[in-house]
Structure 1
Amino acid sequence: MDEGSSPGPSQEGRLPDETDPYQSRPENGSEPFVSRLLRRAADAFSPVSYEDGEIVTAAGIGAAMAGLSDAERAMIANILRLRDLRVVDVMTPRADIVAVGVDSTLDTVDEAFKEGSLSRLPVFRETLDDPLGFVHLKDLAIAYGLGRTATDADFDLRKHIRTALFVPPSMRIAALLQKMQGSRVHMALVIDEFGGVDGLVTIEDLVEQIVGDIEDEHDEEEIAHWREESPGVYLIDARADIAEFEEAEGVSLRLPDWEEDVDTLGGLVFMLTGRVPARAEVISHPAGHEFQVVDADPRRIKRLRLILHGATQAAGAMRKAAE
């Protein structure tokens, strides 16, 4: 899918040599940090073959890696992992996208930037499925001045819309990283097979896969995704990772048939019900646990209360005793 093309069903856009996206060389002699790491990864790990999902390198790999620091080794390991990652693995899902309509006022746009602590915002016509591109905070600051206001007559968001990339969820993130570097467009909207917006990905999302989380002064301190209210009872953000929760709390929640399809606790509840449950609804887990929906809207589950099997039995006994 070419940059600036209308979103819709498309084959994954291919680079001149997408089979090995690590081999590009700059022509002007200036090589960005990430590109340099990509090149060093290719040089250090070639030739590479795969057997049973494991990387097998040629003899002498130790010598090739000898000059690298521990941090560079870790980054190169992450780069190799990029071969298996696709856009769908790193994108911000549609439900979490902060975007503005093309007819928005300056105050509305300003509030949206503040809400998400963002530097770029997608812009759409009537709905998010009709995107026009994105607007950069820097452009508005230059046009209207920091700390100053503009009247509605002065402000026209259309004048500041930049072209976004439109990519399929199946695109390899190594290929997208190169596409962003080459086009200097650092935001891509992820378009599903029906032409709808499925998610959003920025170059920061991709670079973080190599160097780890990038935190700046606008990032809020990470908030725990769950807390124990009482023994065996947890208040949980529906986006909490199942594997992390299971490991931390010593409980098994994933079901064998769905293990590959569900990553979050909200996703597990969705699979159990086959729909987005209503607020205050109670969903039973096959192992005897209970999920109570604390907060939800028609599109997604937001917060859950999990009552583990033992705690559920204790609560039932207390209710009977009270009767």
Structure 2
Amino acid sequence: MPADNHTFFAPVTYILTGIPGTEESHVWISIPFCLMYIATLFGNSLLLFIILTEQSLHQPMYILMSMLATVDLLLSTTTVPKMLTVFWFRAGEISFAACLTQMFFIHFSFIAESAILLAMAFDRYIAICDPLRYTMILSKSVIGKMGLAVVTRSFCIIFPIIFLMKQLKFCRTNLLPHTFCDYVAIARLACDDITVNFWYGIAVAILVIGLDAVLIALSYGLILRAVFRLPSKDARLKALRTCSSHLCVILMFYTPSFFSTFAHRFGHIIPGYILNLLANFYVLIPPMLNPIVYGVTTKEILKRVIHVFHRWCRRSSLLS
């Protein structure tokens, strides 16, 4: 039907409906979601506390870890509390302005995390391939400029999305079949042509996230080439261990994100509730697992985590 035959309206409130097709199981679904969110808050806050309070950890690699933990906290806190109110109380009402704000911070966090992972790959490349110049190349001022570049790039890429969304005219339902304000889900409610919105999202996925992934892969290709040229087996194993945690985090981030991005746009044969669940897992699982991966595989972090818990246990025993 031509757009002219529709009655356009400016959306005031959207209603998040949760995961369509699973309404009867919303309470049960919310239990692991809530536990994952608590683990995310605890793990990332603990990681930030340890890095900020331990002077010996004020090094480029750990500062970048703290940036990643901050972005993970932003991503999960932007989405999960509202998600849980939808599951528990069916309180899915959200204003158009709040919806755009949530959407902005979700995608801002996504772009920022990709940039931080690229910076961490560069950090590992310098540490292994050019260790003598490591402190000179990655000085505190350079890390500060990296952080500023991450924020600036993320804002400049995501701000046009908000502008494009505000230009759309809506004439369909204000029911959003999702647990949070997703860019594609909102755009599909518009009666305008969303070709520009569609291809802008694809361009960001390919030219920004895809380019980051390619540069990360190139960095690790050079790292592996340098590692296998080391004469000592122990040196090779040590170098690989320092990269293992970062590689795990990279795989956890890029694998579901690429699948979710392209499945939402081209995967019409995939049931909607599966896409919805994947999107929810994406904002829950990587932020929860990132501090666990770094805590288990990084000796310095693990040692200080054990020390913090030992100190807390000793203090609680003295108080009791």
TM bucket normalised to smaller = under 0.3
Relative to total residues, which structure has the larger strand share, 1 or 2? 1
Q: TM-score, normalised by structure 1?
A: 0.22
Relative to total residues, which structure has the larger helix share, 1 or 2? 2
Which structure ranks higher in relative contact order (CA pairs < 8 Å, sequence separation ≥ 6)?
2
